[in-house]
């Protein structure tokens, strides 16, 4: 079973928990995820299955879109609602104009301090493991990009937002830093990812839907021709497909200006991502189907 399925991750599960459940549902060990979501966060979690796990390298810097709520009044040690308060709760009533003015300072390329409870590595150890043991460590600010940060509504101490960000951006840190700037503390009350790369909530399925699909679960997979939409597609004939499957170069004169292409055998079988090496010659960067696939019984 090879493909990509988008799960609408529920709150309370880690991304790895979802991977483990899907392994059991599909009876397929080779399952990975694109773009980790915190346990409390929900929304778009793309899973790559079987040979499609090799596509993960093309999504390491994918843009993401979120909707969520920031609560002003107190900060937490995890920068979200799961953590312990780090100060007294203050009574706060903010206007939409105030919060929008504050949010404007966080748009564009900024320096951001990752949360202490995060997967950032400190000498090879994730920061959250050190934080849980209350060990001292130092995180360094990193450059991130917030391409769009829109405050949709404000009600007393809660601000609803929509954000589009580059990979590596922590919305928890944005919430925390906004609270510091305004002087009352803040944390991320809720977060829902609505898009990652070309995948959106419209593509997503619940774990229950995947379970109910049973033997037809692959009907829920994303159509492979919609993957990596910036890359052109080419449909290989039998001779070309055989060369690609064995890792040999092929001549693709109609795609002489492309740097990389998706190579298909038939309409749905993505067999390789090929890279132009010279002129009209393309060499498979990754081979996704080394031999013809047969239908599952």
- The set of catalytic residues is 38
* 33: Cα within 13 Å, side-chain hemisphere: 21
* 258: Cα within 13 Å, side-chain hemisphere: 20
Contact 7, 220 (CB under 8 A): no
| Lookup: tokens for 56 | 């993960």
Residue 67 Cα to chain centre, angstroms: 14
Q: Which residues pair with 72 in a beta bridge?
A: 186
Rounded distance between C-alpha atoms, residue 130 and residue 127, angstroms: 5
> What value, to the nearest 5°, has the Cα angle with vertex 293 and ends 268 and 283?
70
Rounded distance between C-alpha atoms, residue 55 and residue 199, angstroms: 14
Strands, E assignment, the chain: 3-9, 31-33, 42-49, 64-72, 108-112, 121-122, 125-126, 142-155, 158-165, 186-196, 199-200, 204-205, 233-235, 250-251, 260-265, 269-278, 281-287
Contact 265, 235 (CB under 8 A): yes
């Amino acid at each position: 079973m090879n493909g990509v399925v988008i799960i609408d991750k529920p709150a309370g599960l880690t991304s790895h928990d979802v991977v483990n459940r899907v392994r059991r549902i599909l009876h397929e060990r080779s399952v990975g995820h694109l773009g980790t979501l915190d346990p409390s966060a929900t929304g778009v979690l793309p899973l790559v299955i079987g040979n499609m796990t090799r596509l993960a390298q093309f999504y390491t810097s994918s843009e993401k879109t979120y909707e969520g709520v920031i609560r002003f009044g107190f900060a937490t040690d995890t920068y979200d609602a799961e953590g312990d308060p780090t100060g007294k709760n203050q009574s706060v009533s903010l206007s939409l104009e105030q919060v929008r003015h504050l949010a404007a300072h966080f748009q564009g390329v900024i320096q951001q301090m990752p949360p202490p409870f995060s997967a950032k590595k400190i000498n090879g150890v994730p920061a959250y493991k050190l934080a849980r043991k209350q060990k001292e460590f130092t995180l360094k600010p990193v450059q991130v990009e917030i391409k769009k940060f829109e405050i949709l509504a404000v009600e007393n101490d809660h601000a609803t937002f929509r954000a589009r960000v580059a990979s590596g951006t922590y919305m928890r840190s944005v919430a925390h830093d906004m609270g510091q700037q305004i002087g009352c503390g803040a944390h991320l009350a809720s977060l829902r990812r609505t898009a990652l790369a070309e995948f959106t909530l419209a593509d997503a399925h619940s774990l229950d839907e995947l379970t109910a699909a049973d033997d037809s679960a692959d009907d829920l997979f994303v159509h492979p021709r919609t993957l990596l939409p910036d890359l052109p597609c080419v449909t290989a004939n039998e001779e070309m497909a055989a060369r690609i499957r064995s890792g040999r170069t092929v001549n693709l004169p109609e795609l002489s200006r492309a740097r990389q292409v998706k190579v298909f055998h038939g309409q749905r079988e993505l067999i390789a991502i090929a890279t132009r090496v010279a002129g009209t010659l393309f060499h498979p960067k990754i081979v996704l189907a080394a031999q013809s696939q047969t239908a599952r019984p």
